[in-house]
Structure 1
């Protein structure tokens, strides 16, 4: 028996093909990088913060910070409306301004990673809010602190944070943003657990004695400063192995700092004792 394909069915099939061909959005650090930052932070939580986080995460498929670390990147598929509304919360473009941050210019309406961290941290720390709202804020905070420590999430608007800067690594085409998301880390040849041990053995190199309201600005500016360093943008499309040797330790240090800063923020918001 023949089946007549309706015009609507043909349209749906065509849309599915188009969706499959569309490039996936770049993810800061990639899933493994975000999980590493979350696991680093989890090890440094205060007892009070740990208890509150456990209460908020009760019922999650993976009730850990690592288990929710990539939730904000998965919204595009799981909750398209929230994914669209929060899309600009993952980055701030300050490279064109020599890494100086001005909220009115760089974060109109609060739509950037700096103000998103501040706003979601305030929601997380408000015990008068519903548990569902605080849980969502926790998921955003864990992810956005990671984003703020990926250099190209605080870089140039003109090349979309390195997404438009094409490179070739080991004979395969890529872009600078993707290289920093996951490419540099993959060259180490370590699985997640081994990488965690490697990062935990590194000094955090941050002052965790106190946290100021300006901290998210500072994290973004530190990321931007790396982007503006001579040599951060490769001179040739074909990536020199020396680039990986020089910048992979830098990426690892940003992961280590991201974990320390995330723990610092969570301890401050949820209690330090």
Structure 2
């Protein structure tokens, strides 16, 4: 028993995806962009600078969605105040929280799911949200909408590659 306890004590702490992975993924994406594309994206993201300072480049915009709903007193959470902070939190957290993940049933034997079990997976999820976001990016001409959808797309591309954001039906949603 002492050996098992020592093993668990030696395990490193596991931290969430948050900033590092999102910024890394967006930085890798930037490597494939032309200077013209970078300039266009910069101009688009700069439009929100007065409302959400320091979130106007691809790397910080990719984290915006998590930062907007952040309520901890940490440096990562301090980028907006007042009404802008409240609005961002509402947008990021309430309506769209299921957009960060897709719960996938662990069903290796192909057992038919009951109607109740199927309903669990019928709600909006990250794959659906990415499709909607990409559609909006391709059809909208509104600068605000383009900015919001670009931030969502950047963030969701990071989340969809996070292994715990595609979990089984007995895990907490998104983990």
Instruction: With the length of structure 1 as denominator, give the TM-score of the two structures.
Output: 0.43
Aligned counterpart for 1:108 among listed residues 110, 122, 137: 122
Q: Does 1:67 align with 2:81?
A: no
Q: Does 1:81 align with 2:90?
A: yes
Is contact 1:123-1:137 (8 Å) kept? yes
Backbone CA RMSD of aligned residues: 2.6
> Which residue is equivalent to 2:42?
54
Is contact 1:35-1:70 (8 Å) kept? yes
Cα deviation, residue 34, structure 1:
0.7
> Which residue is equivalent to 1:214?
none
> Which residue is equivalent to 1:135?
147
Paired with 2:16 and 2:42, the residues of 1 have a C-alpha distance of 25
Residues 38 and 106 from structure 1, CA distance in 2 versus in 1: closer, same or farther, beyond 3 angstroms? farther
Cα deviation, residue 75, structure 1:
2.9
Cα deviation, residue 58, structure 1:
2.0
Is contact 1:34-1:69 (8 Å) kept? yes
Paired with 1:135 and 1:162, the residues of 2 have a C-alpha distance of 25
Question: Relative contact order, CA 8 A, sep 6+: which one is greater?
Answer: 1
Paired with 1:138 and 1:87, the residues of 2 have a C-alpha distance of 17
Unaligned residue ranges in structure 2 (runs of 5+):
1-14, 71-84, 111-117
> Which residue is equivalent to 1:40?
28
Is contact 2:18-2:66 (8 Å) kept? no
Q: Does 1:150 align with 2:150?
A: no
Paired with 1:125 and 1:51, the residues of 2 have a C-alpha distance of 18
Is contact 2:100-2:174 (8 Å) kept? no
Unaligned residue ranges in structure 1 (runs of 5+):
1-26, 164-273
> Which residue is equivalent to 1:94?
104
> Which residue is equivalent to 2:135?
122
Paired with 1:152 and 1:161, the residues of 2 have a C-alpha distance of 9
Paired with 1:122 and 1:162, the residues of 2 have a C-alpha distance of 24
Paired with 1:44 and 1:29, the residues of 2 have a C-alpha distance of 23
| Stretches (4+) displaced over 4 A | 104-107
